[in-house]
Amino acid sequence: MAKKSPTPTGSREGERLQAARRHVLQLWNEQHDARLVYHHFAQAAAVARLAGEIAEAEGLPEETAEIARLGAWFFNAGYLYDRRQVAETGAIRAEFFLAEQHCPPEKIQAVRQCIVSALTEPRPHTAEARVLNDAIRAYDWAETFDERAPLLRLEREYLDQEVLSEDAWQQFLRGQLGRGQFFTAYAKTAYEPALIAHILKLHTQLPAATSQKQETATPPKTAETGRFARLARRPLRASIQTYFRANYANHIRLSAIADNKAHIMISVNSILLSVAISMLTYQTVTNRNPLFILPIIIFLVTGLTSLIFAVLSSRPRVTAPIPNERVNPVFFGNFVHLSLEEYEAAVDAMLRDGSLLFGNMTRDLYHLGQVLDKKYRLLTFSYTVFMMGFVATVGAFVGAYFL
């Protein structure tokens, strides 16, 4: 492949690049994540080398080459902090480093734009961003595609905690290779043929894999027509698991929010009711103006009502099992009456039957939703009564004060 470009030594640019290398190495050592088997320090070093080669071959000014190489050192540092905002996080790390190096603000901004543009824009608009884009594409999808593609799949599975199906992986690769456009003349000449060869190889392998899958994975036609009957055997099983995991987490989170709001209302009403009772029994206040009894009584009634509904909202309740329905071992309220042997038999039967498993989980989510609906209705009424009672109390107190 292309020869390496010499790193400038003794110059301010060379010192800054060496400092960037040391700083990035320190970041990867301090924030080490064993799941990052694809994006790592070696990738940043290789991309920085390729950025220098491309910039030199294009005859770009040293200033442009330095910005591209600085961006290359930091472009994947965002995976150490927030992989959903890699470009922005990497740009921020570069800003911090360059500020410590007392770089001019315009250079800091240029490096930042270089990273963000190369990673997020379909067509980078600056020369340094195009160089960085081509260096990343060259290393990931042209130079070492065969060796590194399996590592990318492994990293995605580690981070997402979900095994990718072959169809999903092939679709992802086709999308990445299809977007692997080069913008500099040197990169188009040196790396685009290898990228095209990988695309061709992927598309020639696809028909055979699809045909084999259709022959081996087509399930025999059976009489199973009930709900959830075939979900457990389909490739979308991972999506179903994600659906249930997300919904259970949302239900638990909403229940915790409702309980916290109920506890707030219980605490506030308990304190204020104690104060109201003390004021009602305090003879000096009531003797001075008997009309002051009215707002205190109003608040006692509304506060007590609000407190009762808040307690009802947070009170534990267990859904009773439905008569003549199979035992649902997903929820404790439906299996506590069973013996250990009966419970184990019910769980074993559920795990062996995909339709029963997904059906039980669906019914459990439905009943959780029913409980949440009742919680929030009671909580809404509690807050409404408290608000109206507070307003009525203040109004009655003001009226009694001026009468």
In angstroms, the CA 318 to CA 144 distance is 57
Specify burial of residue 37 (Cβ count, 10 A radius: 0-12, 13-18, 19+). Answer: middle
Q: Name the residue type at position 55.
A: A
pLDDT of residue 7: 43
**Closest CA relative to residue 48, chosen from 17, 92, 79:** 17
The average pLDDT across 58-87 equals 91
Mean pLDDT computed over 30-46: 90
Q: How confident is the model at residue 109 (pLDDT cuts 50, 70, 90)?
A: very high
Q: Is the pLDDT of residue 2 over 50?
A: no
Tokens of 380: 């809404």
Which of 316-340 are b and which e, b meaning 16 or more Cβ less than 10 Å from the residue's Cβ?
eeebebeeeeebbbbbeebbeeeee
Name the burial class of residue 136, with classes exposed (0-12), middle (13-18) and buried (19+) by CB atoms within 10 angstroms of its CB: buried
What pLDDT score does 184 carry? 93
Q: Does 211 have pLDDT greater than 60?
A: no
Residue 210 has pLDDT above 60, yes or no: no
SS3 340: helix
Residue pLDDT, tens place only, 142-191: 767 778 888 888 888 888 887 878 878 888 887 777 777 889 999 999 88
pLDDT tens, position by position, 293-347: 788 888 888 888 988 988 888 887 655 555 545 666 666 666 667 778 877 777 7
Do residues 126 and 109 make contact, with C-beta atoms less than 8 angstroms apart? no
Q: 135: closest CA among 149, 121, 115?
A: 115
The span from the CA of 272 to the CA of 105, in Å, is 57
pLDDT-derived band at 215, boundaries 50, 70, 90: very low
* Whole-angstrom distance, CA of residue 141 vs CA of residue 157: 19
Q: What is the rounded CA–CA span in Å between residue 39 and residue 80?
A: 9
Please report the pLDDT score of residue 129 as a whole number: 93
Share of the chain above pLDDT 90, in %: 23
Q: Chain centroid to CA 26: how far?
A: 27
Task: Tell which wins on pLDDT, 103 or 239.
Answer: 103
Query: Which tokens sit at 397?
Result: 């107190």
What is the average pLDDT score of the chain?
79
Q: Report d(CA 286, CA 288) in Å as an integer.
A: 5
CA–CA separation, 306 vs 86, rounded Å? 48
Rounded CA separation 18/10 (Å): 11
Supply 331's token pair. 């929820």
**Stretch 68-81: mean pLDDT:** 92
- AA identity, residue 292: F
Give the rounded distance of the alpha carbon of 324 from its chain centre. Answer: 41
For 72-88, what is the mean pLDDT? 89
12-213 adopts what CATH topology?
Hypothetical protein af1432 (1.10.3210)
